[in-house]
Structure 1
Amino acid sequence: MQVWPPGAPRSPQPQPQSQPGAAGPVTPLVTKPHKRGIGDIPIRAIYLAGAILVTVTAVLLIFVVFSGDVPTTGDPAGTTVSVAPVPAATATPTASPTPSETPVALPSVPASKAFPTLPGKASVVSGIISDKTSGISYPRLAAPWDAKSFAPFTVAQRIGKVAVPHTVIASAMFPGDAPEKKPSKDADYREMAVRAARWALRTQYPAGAELTSWTGSAKVPVGKGWSLGYKVTYVSGGKTETAQAVVTVVEVGKTKPAMLLASIPEKNKARWADLNTLVQQVRPL
Structure 2
Amino acid sequence: MRVVYRAIAVAAGVVVLGAGATVVLLNRDDPAATAAAPPPHSAAVVVPSAAPASSGAAAPAAGAVATPGLSPLSSALSSPVASTGASATPGTTASAASSPAAGADAVDPALAAALKDPRVPALPKNSRRLRSLPGRAAATHGLVKDRRSGIALPRFTKTWALAKPAPFASRQLLPKVKGASYRGMLVSCPVPIPEQKTLRDTAFLAARWTLNHHPSGATITWTASQPFKAGKREGWLLGYTVHYTLKGKKRVSAAALALVDVPEKKPAVVFVTIPDSQKKRWHDINKVMSSVKAL
Shorter-chain TM range is 0.5 to 0.7
2:175 is paired with a residue whose SS is: coil
Structure 1 CA distance, aligned partners of 2:183 and 2:125? 26
Residue from 211, 217, 233 that aligns with 1:208: 217
> Looking at both structures, which has the greater relative contact order when contacts are Cα pairs under 8 Å and sequence separation is at least 6?
1
Work out whether 1:142 is the aligned partner of 2:151. Answer: no
Identity between Structure 1 and Structure 2 (%): 33
Change (3 A) 1:279 1:149: same
| Cα distance, 1:97 vs structure 2 | 10
Q: 1:231 is aligned with what amino acid?
A: T
Structure 2 CA distance, aligned partners of 1:112 and 1:205? 25
| Cα distance, 1:220 vs structure 2 | 2.7
Q: Is the 8 A contact 2:222 2:238 kept in 1?
A: no
> In the alignment, which residue of structure 1 is the partner of 2:187?
170
> In the alignment, which residue of structure 1 is the partner of 2:138?
123
Structure 2 CA distance, aligned partners of 1:104 and 1:175? 19
Structure 1 CA distance, aligned partners of 2:150 and 2:167? 16
> In the alignment, which residue of structure 2 is the partner of 1:230?
240
| Cα distance, 1:104 vs structure 2 | 4.0
Q: 1:133 is aligned with what amino acid?
A: R
Change (3 A) 1:192 1:96: closer
Q: 2:192 is aligned with what amino acid?
A: P
Q: Is the 8 A contact 1:122 1:271 kept in 2?
A: yes
Q: Is the 8 A contact 1:225 1:251 kept in 2?
A: yes
> Residue by residue, what CA displacement relative to the aligned partner does 1:149-182 show, whole Å, maximum 9, x if unpaired?
1431111000124985441100000012345xxx
Which segments of 5 or more consecutive residues in structure 2 lack a partner in the other structure? 1-109
> Residue by residue, what CA displacement relative to the aligned partner does 1:16-67 show, whole Å, maximum 9, x if unpaired?
xxxxxxxxxxxxxxxxxxxxxxxxxxxxxxxxxxxxxxxxxxxxxxxxxxxx
Residue from 263, 282, 286 that aligns with 1:272: 282
Q: Is the 8 A contact 2:230 2:294 kept in 1?
A: no
Please give the TM-score of this superposition, normalised by the length of structure 2.
Answer: 0.56
Structure 1 CA distance, aligned partners of 2:143 and 2:251? 31
Q: Is the 8 A contact 2:194 2:202 kept in 1?
A: no
Structure 1 CA distance, aligned partners of 2:132 and 2:145? 25
| Cα distance, 1:258 vs structure 2 | 0.7
Q: 1:140 is aligned with what amino acid?
A: R
Structure 2 CA distance, aligned partners of 1:117 and 1:282? 16
> In the alignment, which residue of structure 2 is the partner of 1:244?
254
> In the alignment, which residue of structure 1 is the partner of 2:77?
none
Larger Rg: 2
Change (3 A) 1:209 1:188: same
> In the alignment, which residue of structure 1 is the partner of 2:17?
none
2:198 is paired with a residue whose SS is: helix
Which segments of 5 or more consecutive residues in structure 1 lack a partner in the other structure? 1-94, 180-186
More helix by share: 2
Change (3 A) 1:214 1:143: same
Change (3 A) 1:197 1:254: same
Structure 1 CA distance, aligned partners of 2:155 and 2:227? 22
Q: 2:151 is aligned with what amino acid?
A: I
| Cα distance, 1:211 vs structure 2 | 0.3
Q: Is the 8 A contact 1:139 1:278 kept in 2?
A: yes
Change (3 A) 1:141 1:236: same
Please give the TM-score of this superposition, normalised by the length of structure 1.
Answer: 0.58
| Cα distance, 1:213 vs structure 2 | 2.6
Residue correspondences, number: 182
Residue from 158, 167, 171 that aligns with 1:156: 171
> In the alignment, which residue of structure 1 is the partner of 2:72?
none
Structure 1 CA distance, aligned partners of 2:213 and 2:181? 6
Change (3 A) 1:165 1:111: farther
| Cα distance, 1:120 vs structure 2 | 1.0
Matches within 5 A, 1:1-285: 104-161=119-176, 165-179=182-196, 188-201=198-211, 203-222=212-231, 223-254=233-264, 256-285=266-295
Structure 2 CA distance, aligned partners of 1:137 and 1:97? 31
> Residue by residue, what CA displacement relative to the aligned partner does 1:84-131 show, whole Å, maximum 9, x if unpaired?
xxxxxxxxxxx9999xx9574324334411211100111011121110
| Cα distance, 1:281 vs structure 2 | 1.0
Range with greater deviation from structure 2 (210-219 or 233-242): 210-219
